[in-house]
């Protein structure tokens, strides 16, 4: 299940690098939760052809994420934003303590958004 969610996310980021057929088959598999057999029947192709197209598409998406790291960068940024939100909510009584805990998170978030983190 997690693999399908990850593949769907990568398709959102890098789907333009796939053929139309690969994009469509990955969408049916991940987003519509259809089995290979169901997709094959719907498209009028063999189950093996569906599997091969999804496998090739998945490989392309994974390679693009390994090279560009956009999904990982956005996950890290979202995590830092959540940390800032939690620090603000928990530090309502002591503003200076809240600010002190937020500064390093903001610095790290800034480095991610400015491309200085190497991702």
pLDDT tens-digit readout, 66-113: 999 999 999 999 888 888 888 777 765 666 776 777 888 888 888 887
- Which residue segment(s) compose the domain that 9 sits in? 2-68
CA atoms within 13 A on the CB side of 66: 6
CATH number for the domain spanning 8: value is 1.10.10.10
Residues 44, 93 share a domain: no
Residues 57, 80 share a domain: no
Residues 56, 81 share a domain: no
Residues 107, 76 share a domain: yes
Please state the pTM of the whole predicted model: 0.78
| Residue 119 resides in a domain | no
């Amino acid at each position: 299940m997690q693999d399908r969610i990850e593949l769907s996310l990568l398709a959102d980021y890098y789907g333009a690098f796939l053929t139309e057929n690969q994009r469509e088959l990955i969408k049916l598999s991940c987003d519509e939760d259809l089995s290979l057999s169901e997709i094959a029947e719907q498209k009028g192709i063999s189950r093996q052809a569906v599997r091969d197209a999804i496998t090739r598409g998945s490989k392309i998406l994974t390679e693009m994420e390994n090279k560009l790291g956009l999904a990982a960068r956005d996950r890290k940024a979202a995590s830092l934003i959540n940390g800032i939100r939690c620090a603000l909510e928990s530090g309502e009584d002591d503003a200076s303590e809240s600010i002190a805990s937020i500064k390093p998170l903001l610095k790290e978030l800034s480095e991610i958004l400015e491309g200085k983190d190497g991702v």
